[in-house]
Each structure stands twice: as C-alpha cells, then as structure tokens.
Amino acid sequence: MALFYLCSKPDKEPEAGVVAHLYNAKWPRFFARVEKLGEAVPVSAVGYRGANVVFSCGFDGGQPSEYLLFIEDNIDKADYPRVIKPLQKAVEWFMQVECRQQGASRYDYSLLDDYSPKTPALQVLHFAKTDEFLLSHEKGVNGFSSVDDMDEYMQVILKLSREVIAGGVINQEGY
C-alpha cells in the first residue's frame, strides 16, 4: 500500500487556491490540504488550526511559489512531534507527483527556517509584494498584515517574550 494518496471531494466545488488534498494511509493517518499561498485569499486572511508545513517550490529552475500543507483531519489524533515528519514526507511526495503532472524534469523545494533556536517549530514568512506575514507554528498557521500585529500575536497568544521575538529570522518569499 502506498503511503500517500491524492484525494478529491466530489461532494464539494473545488476551493480557490487549493491545489490538492492528500491522505496519509499509515499511522498517523490524516487528511491534508495543499494551498498555493497568496493566490485565492490575501496571506493576511490565512488562519488554520493544526500541524502544517510551509514550503517553497519551483519546477525546472522556474520562479518558486509558496505553498501551505496542513492537516484538515488528524484521524489518529497524533500530537505535533508525531505528525511533523510524515507531513514533511508528504511535501516531498507531493512535489514528485506535481513534477510528473507538469511534465517537468526536476523540482526544487525548501522548508522554512525556524524563527530562532528558542522557537523550534515556529517559522515566519514575509511576502514582500504585499508586505504580509505568515506565522507557522505547531498549533496552526496565521497570516498578518503587519509585523506589529504578528509580534502582538506571538506575545499574547504564543506567550513569547519580547527578547525572543526581537531576535528572530524572517524568511523571505522565494527563499
């Protein structure tokens, strides 16, 4: 049996910006969605709960695009440390499938760098064209229209100190 499968939702209209739905057939089983960021809705409007991976990819050396893969249904209720590696493997698998579907000879992809050594599993991506920010963390992913709004969220909701927030690395679009 394959590890991952592409799925469709025949009872629903395709959602704008959604590139694919995936099913992980082995423990921890989950249904996940892949979205192309900044295409259907502004990045600042993104807000999902659950484990996720943000990645940048390009085909045959072309311009990279940013994507979000996140769990829609965590069937086995596995915690973040148990689902993050399968999610990252799902990114690799998805890229192989997309490469074949697009008729490309190769693909390049990268995951975000952590914000700081003190904040593993927390990453920030800046979209320069729209000056929006995407904050990915183990409990979800959220978009912001300003760095100040994002910093406030990190302090109030994620309970990070100003010192931790001040020294972080912000990934740039096309990283």
Query: Given the structure tokens 């993050």, which residue do they identify?
Result: 84
C-alpha 70/C-alpha 48 separation (Å) is 8
CA angle centred on 87, ends 86 and 93, rounded to 5°: 85
Q: How far apart are CA 107 and CA 56, in angstroms?
A: 11
- Dig out the tokens for 34 from the structure: 């892949």
Q: Computed from CA positions of residues 90, 136, 29, 75, in that sequence, does the dihedral angle turn out positive or negative?
A: negative
Separation CA 153–CA 130 (nearest Å): 20
Does residue 42 have a cis bond before it (omega within 30 degrees)?
Answer: no
Other beta carbons less than 10 A from residue 25's beta carbon: 11
The string of pLDDT tens digits covering residues 151-174 is 999 999 999 999 999 889 999 986
What is the 3-state secondary structure of 2-54?
CCEEEECCCCCCCCCCEEEEEEECCCCCEEEEEEECCCCCCHHHCEEECCEEE
Residue 29 exposed, middle or buried by CB count within 10 Å (0-12, 13-18, 19+) = middle
The residue segments making up the domain with residue 93 are 4-172
Strand partners, 36: 67
148, 61 in Cβ contact below 8 A?
Answer: no
Count of domains for the chain: 1
Residue 10: per-residue pLDDT: 59
The pTM of this model reads 0.90
Q: What is the pLDDT of residue 175?
A: 62
Cα→Cα distances 166→133, 135, 170, Å: 16, 15, 11
Task: Please list the ranges in the chain whose pLDDT falls under 50.
Answer: 1
Taking the C-alpha atoms of residue 124 and residue 108, their distance in angstroms, rounded to an integer, is: 20
